[in-house]
């Protein structure tokens, strides 16, 4: 089996040299999916995985724009349309200086499986730019977004490819891009998700990823007769996903000890309660400040510059910042400190070594493609509401989100039974694969 896996990875590597994040995401999937394919007559010999790792289309383009000071700026824009077997391409846009093809291909590849798990008809895609919104004025962000959308608009559409937010792309950026798309096309359609509530957005979309992670963690815990209530939680990040993961954990009776940004983390041993979280939300979403300012407001808390929070003893860890933010030694520290569950809010936050530490321990480990699927799931519900020209209530969307996270958990149980216990990595990969592979087989070699 190892030879088949290694041969496959060598072939993919030969075609994707210098794309470490993409290769990391692929190898994580093939480790569990190739043994399954070999055991299943209908999939074996069809080169389905080899087709899945090759994007259907990659678009790369120049984004030239003039900043407020009158200087001409140039960025690079991308859209990776990875797989449309079960629906139009769907996935976020990331604006971050480290964005490159390797990162967007890893994200688009994972999105195929994640979207399949949601039970909704969405294919996989991802895009973005090396533009850094941090520290930019609203005017500069608007000018960049308009230029970016001027090119992207010709490639997307409500039945073709529906982008959304990701790192560096929140409600402000979605608004500017939607406005430009509408102007270019003279059409008001649900071409982006994460829209404002008065112009086609869905209730609960902002909350969905973070809430969904906590629902998923609760599902894993209940499956072994436990609950998140009363547990200590370490969260990384302080953006969209981190904020609402922390909020739901607090609402469900957990004690949230940390949050972070790319500069460092804050530790509050009394717990970040609702009021303190509101302070963080205002600091990050409106004032666009840094997490270290928290300790000025709440002097009993401490700030650790340049560090990640994984050494803080906790029962539950929720990484919600970025890829490869939780390394093998971090996993060892969490295990040593008796952590019982890890739910990935970010995409691929745990590296290969960390995942294997978790899988070889008693920790319940939820990979992002299962546990953070709530965001894109509610994006799917936003698309449905746009098509219906109707909007559902907060309660309706939240209930639907809970059902979807439950179903994803069940799919992981169905496909992830191990010798001793459930392997959620295996479960998520195989369940996602089966749905997409069946559609690909039915549609012929395309
Ligand atoms: P935001 O931009 O709202 O927040 C990102 C957070 O992560 C910030 O606190 C940021 O700190 C931190 N961060 C970003 N890059 C790095 C880095 N290189 N090192 C350390 N910290 C970093 O993004 P989201 O909350 O939307 O996304 C967070 C993660 O969740 C990403 O992996 C994303 O792909 C994933 N995700 C998002 C979904 C969504 O619906 N938004 C859905 C599913 C997954 P700083 O401000 O200092 O950069
Ligand atoms: O990684 C993700 O799932 C997202 N950034 C959300 C994608 C979406 O289309 O809502």
| The pLDDT of residue 399 is above 90 | yes
Ligand 2 environment, Cβ below 6 A = 90-92, 114, 164, 166, 193, 347, 375-376, 379
Q: Mind listing the pLDDT tens digit for each residue in 35-94?
A: 999 999 999 999 999 999 999 999 999 999 999 999 999 999 999 999 999 999 999 999
Q: Mind listing the pLDDT tens digit for each residue in 122-143?
A: 999 999 999 999 999 999 999 9
Averaged over 4-32, what is the pLDDT? Answer: 98
Query: Which pLDDT band, with edges at 50, 70 and 90, does 29 fall under?
Result: very high
Q: Is the CB of 320 under 6 A from ligand 1?
A: yes
Calculate how far, in angstroms, residue 347's C-alpha sits from the geometric centre of ligand 1.
Answer: 9
Q: How far apart are CA 375 and CA 30, in angstroms?
A: 25
Q: How far apart are CA 408 and CA 118, in angstroms?
A: 7
| The pLDDT of residue 422 is above 90 | yes
Question: What pLDDT score does 202 carry?
Answer: 98
* Annotated catalytic residue, options 105, 126, 231, 255: 126
CB atoms within 10 A of CB 326: 29
Q: Which of 322, 327, 379 to mutate to test the pocket of ligand 1 (most atoms within 8 A of CB)?
A: 322
Question: What pLDDT score does 325 carry?
Answer: 98
Average pLDDT of the chain is: 98
Averaged over 399-419, what is the pLDDT? Answer: 96
Q: Which ligand number lies closest to the CA of residue 93?
A: 2
Query: Which pLDDT band, with edges at 50, 70 and 90, does 420 fall under?
Result: confident
Provide the β-strand partners of residue 157. Answer: 161
Query: Which pLDDT band, with edges at 50, 70 and 90, does 336 fall under?
Result: very high
Q: How far apart are CA 277 and CA 281, in angstroms?
A: 6
Question: What pLDDT score does 8 carry?
Answer: 98
Averaged over 381-385, what is the pLDDT? Answer: 98
Averaged over 156-183, what is the pLDDT? Answer: 98
Question: What pLDDT score does 163 carry?
Answer: 99
Q: Are 126 and 80 in contact (CB under 8 A)?
A: yes
| The pLDDT of residue 320 is above 80 | yes
Averaged over 307-318, what is the pLDDT? Answer: 98
Question: What pLDDT score does 418 carry?
Answer: 83
Q: Is the CB of 125 under 6 A from ligand 1?
A: no
Query: Which pLDDT band, with edges at 50, 70 and 90, does 221 fall under?
Result: very high
Percent share of the chain, pLDDT over 90: 99
Q: Mind listing the pLDDT tens digit for each residue in 274-283?
A: 999 999 999 9
| The pLDDT of residue 419 is above 90 | no
Percent share of the chain, pLDDT over 70: 100
Q: What is the three-state SS of the chain?
A: CHHHHHHHHHHHHHHCCCCHHHHHHHHHHHHHHHHHHHHCCCCCCCCHHHHHCCCCEEEEEEEEEECCCCCEEEEEEEEEEEECCCCCEEEEEEECCCCCHHHHHHHHHHHHHHHHHCCCCCEEEEEEECCCCCCCCHHHHHHHHHHHHHHHCCCCECCCEEEECECCECHHHHHHHHHHHHHHHCCCCCCCCCCCHHHCCCCCHHHHHHHHHHHHHHHHHHHCCCCCCCCEEEEECCCHHHHHHHHHHHHCCCEEEEEEECCEEEECCCCCCHHHHHHHHHHHHHCCCCHHHHHHHCCCCEEEECCCHHHCCCCEEEECCCCCCECHHHHHHHHHCCCCEEECCCCCCECHHHHHHHHCCCCEEECHHHHCCHHHHHHHHHHHHHHHCCCCCHHHHHHHHHHHHHHHHHHHHHHCECCCCECHHHHHHHHHHHHHHHHHHHCCCC
Q: Are 202 and 231 in contact (CB under 8 A)?
A: no
Q: Are 156 and 92 in contact (CB under 8 A)?
A: no
CB atoms within 10 A of CB 135: 7
In the sheet with 123-129, reading across from the earlier edge strand, the strands are: 57-66, 72-83, 123-129, 89-95, 161-164
Quick check: is 195 catalytic?
no
Question: What pLDDT score does 441 carry?
Answer: 98
Q: How far apart are CA 236 and CA 363, in angstroms?
A: 18
């Amino acid at each position: 089996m190892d030879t088949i896996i290694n041969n496959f990875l060598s072939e993919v590597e030969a075609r994707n040299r210098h794309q470490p994040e993409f290769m990391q995401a692929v190898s994580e999937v093939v480790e569990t999916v190739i043994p399954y394919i070999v055991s299943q007559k209908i999939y074996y010999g069809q080169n389905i995985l080899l087709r899945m790792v090759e994007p259907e289309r990659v678009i790369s383009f120049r984004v030239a724009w003039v900043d407020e000071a009158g200087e001409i700026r140039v960025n690079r824009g991308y859209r990776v349309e990875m797989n449309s077997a079960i629906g139009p391409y769907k996935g976020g846009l990331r604006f971050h200086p480290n964005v490159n093809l390797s990162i967007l291909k890893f994200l688009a590849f994972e999105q195929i499986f994640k979207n399949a798990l949601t039970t909704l008809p969405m294919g996989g895609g991802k895009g973005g730019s090396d533009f850094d919104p941090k520290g930019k004025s609203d005017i500069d962000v608007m000018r960049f977004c308009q230029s970016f959308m001027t090119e992207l608009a010709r490639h997307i559409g409500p039945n073709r490819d529906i982008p959304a937010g990701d790192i560096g792309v929140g409600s402000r950026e979605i608004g500017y891009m939607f406005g430009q798309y509408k102007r270019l096309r003279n059409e008001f359609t649900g071409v982006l998700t994460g829209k404002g509530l008065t112009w086609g957005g869905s209730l609960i979309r902002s909350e969905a990823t973070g809430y969904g992670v906590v629902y998923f963690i609760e599902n894993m815990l209940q499956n072994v007769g436990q609950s998140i209530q009363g547990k200590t939680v370490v969260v990384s990040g302080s953006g969209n996903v981190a904020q609402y993961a922390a909020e739901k954990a607090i609402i469900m009776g957990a004690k949230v000890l940390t949050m972070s940004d790319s500069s460092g983390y804050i530790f509050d041993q009394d717990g970040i309660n609702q009021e303190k979280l509101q302070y963080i939300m205002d600091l990050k979403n409106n004032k666009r400040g840094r997490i270290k300012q928290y300790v000025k407001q709440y002097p009993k808390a401490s700030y650790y510059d340049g560090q990640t929070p994984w050494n803080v003893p906790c029962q539950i860890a929720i990484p919600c910042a970025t890829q490869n933010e939780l390394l093998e030694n971090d996993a060892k520290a969490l295990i040593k400190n008796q952590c019982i569950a890890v739910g990935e809010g970010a995409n691929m936050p745990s590296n290969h070594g960390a995942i294997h530490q978790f899988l070889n321990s008693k920790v319940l480990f939820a990979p992002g493609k299962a546990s953070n699927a709530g965001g894109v799931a509610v994006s799917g519900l936003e698309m449905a509401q746009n098509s219906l020209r109707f909007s559902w209530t907060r309660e309706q969307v939240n209930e639907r989100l809970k059902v979807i996270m439950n179903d994803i958990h069940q799919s992981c149980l169905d496909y992830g039974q191990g010798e001793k216990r459930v392997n959620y990595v295996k479960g998520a990969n195989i369940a996602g694969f089966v749905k997409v592979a069946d559609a690909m087989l039915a549609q012929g070699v395309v």
